[in-house]
A and B are shown apart, each in its own frame.
Chain A
Amino acid sequence: MSNVLTAVGVVGGLGLLFGALLSFASKVFHVKVDYKVEAVRAALPGANCGACGFPGCDGMAAHIALEDGPVNGCPVGGQPVADKVAEIMGKVAVAGAKEVACVMCQGDATRAKERYTYTGPRDCRSNAATGGGGSKACTFGCLGGGTCKDYCQFGAIEIINGLAVIDKEKCTACGKCVEVCPKKIIEMVPYDQEVMVKCKNTEPGKEVRQKCAVGCIACNLCARTAPEAFVVENNLAKAQFPFAQDPAEAVQKCPTGCIYPGLAAKEAAKKEKAV
């Protein structure tokens, strides 16, 4: 009987001692947390994707609440979250320009040539690391291995005929694909921008022509037709968004079709052809 009593006494005593120490410690080591941090943290999506550039939603919340960070700093949450955060912080949310990720290449399996047949693991990173930049003749273009698709948590990326295509409605601009792409062919573009030059090849036109049917050959036609909308730099045309001039004519004149006319325009053109 006395054995049991000592056991109960010792373990109970230790428990009480630790409990008392902990409650004492929690008073002594108490750190004040701004209630705003917790409120902002609750308003954020909580995906911890890191697209804002902070380590997780906690980091973003602390930045907004304590260091006067931007209320629309969360690219995933967009306007609704920015509104909520602004309400907590007592600020007016400025509409952040919505961005989406876009693959700046149109060279799919039928349009772009391959230098050799790649037979390694189905992953762009190992493809790009071998054979001097991967199996594609154009060393700038999308390899179509689908690494970005594996990393997209929102199912916005599909590989169509050896080319990654991003659904801009599903894209949340988290930037995971931009980070993981070994060719750096994925870029963030404004959601409203329809027309863009989907090519990154800076080689001279003659070489581009040999490698890809939809590469930019730096012919300067777009820049001459619509000088306010396009510039050609370093053998590559670049769209100047927002457009100061209607780019439609320049898009029409582009001999290779490397200027992407936007999804709506493209589908309309397809229908016209079918008729």
Chain B
Amino acid sequence: MANIFQIIIASIFVNNYVFARFLGICPLLGVSNKTETAAGMGVAVTFVITLASAITWVVHEFVLSQFGLEYLMTIVFILVIAALVQFVEMFLKKSSPGLYNALGVYLPLITTNCVVLGVAILNITSEYNFIEMIVNALGSSIGFLIAIVFLAAIRERIDIADVPEVFKGFPISLVTVGLMSMAFMGFQGLV
């Protein structure tokens, strides 16, 4: 139990995928103009990461390990994630149009989101069992959700502030991400 709790804290704060591992910067900057869309993206990422982690873990455990092909992990995982996202998109379109409309725009973007691949691979290299893996996946995606929503909230405020001409747009956002990352460094050594 203590182990699970440790994983949750570590994945959300200490090893936050955005601020400590610098993965998923593209969607972080791309869809953080409004808090609403940022939250939508965060929820979609949470959904996909958890599902993808479970499937990649199973594929690794029961296919790749059996044949001694662990070195093909990266390429196989990309294949699995891309196919999975496609499948999820089709499934949602048919079974729940409401959820499809809510996540619709973000789902295809997630196919190539490096956070998903990052979590899947780090699950394996950390040698988690199935339950620890699911907890870690959920934790890391909540970390991403927190990061993107926080950044969006800050950017909404920056929008009406008097930013020097050269810093307008992405430069000031990158500076903001850097400062937030430094704040998250305060969690280092917690677990």
A interface list, Cβ under 8 A from B? 6-7, 10-11, 14-15, 18-19, 21-22, 25-26, 28-31, 120-123, 125-126, 147
Contacts and interface: CB of A to CB of B under 8 A. Distances in A.
A29 B90 contact: yes
Contact of B76 (A11, A25, A121): A11
Contact of A22 (B59, B69, B75, B86): B86
B52 to A, nearest CB: 13
B72 A122 contact: no
Nearest to A126: B160
B91 A123 contact: no
B100 to A, nearest CB: 9
B162 A6 contact: no
A123 to B, nearest CB: 5
Given A21-B87, A26-B90, A31-B94, A10 B63 contact: yes
B162 A21 contact: no
B72 A22 contact: no
B162 A10 contact: no
Given A22-B87, A29-B91, 7 more contacts: A6-B67, A11-B76, A14-B80, A28-B94, A29-B93, A121-B160, A123-B162
Contacts of A10: 63-64, 67, 69, 72
Q: Is the interface of A mostly helix, strand, loop or mixed?
A: helix
B79 interface: yes
Interface string B45-68: 000000000000001000110011
A26 B160 CA distance: 45
Closest A-B pairs by Cβ, 7 of them: A121-B162, A29-B94, A18-B83, A29-B90, A123-B160, A125-B160, A6-B67
A67 to B, nearest CB: 14
Contacts of A11: 69, 72, 75-76, 79
Nearest to B87: A25
Contact of B79 (A14, A122, A126): A14
21 contacts: A6-B67, A6-B68, A6-B69, A7-B69, A10-B64, A10-B69, A11-B75, A11-B79, A14-B63, A14-B79, A18-B79, A22-B83, A25-B87, A25-B90, A29-B90, A29-B91, A29-B93, A30-B94, A121-B160, A122-B162, A125-B160
A93 B72 CA distance: 59
Contacts of A31: 93-94
Of listed B68, B87, B93, residue having the most chain A CB within 10 A: B87
A120 B160 CA distance: 10
B169 to A, nearest CB: 12
Contacts of A125: 160
B79 A15 contact: yes
B47 to A, nearest CB: 17
Nearest to A26: B90
Contacts of A7: 67, 69, 72
B162 A14 contact: no
B190 interface: no
Contacts of B68: 6
A147 B160 CA distance: 9
B161 interface: yes
Contacts of A18: 79-80, 83
A126 B94 CA distance: 45
Contacts of B64: 10
A204 B78 CA distance: 70
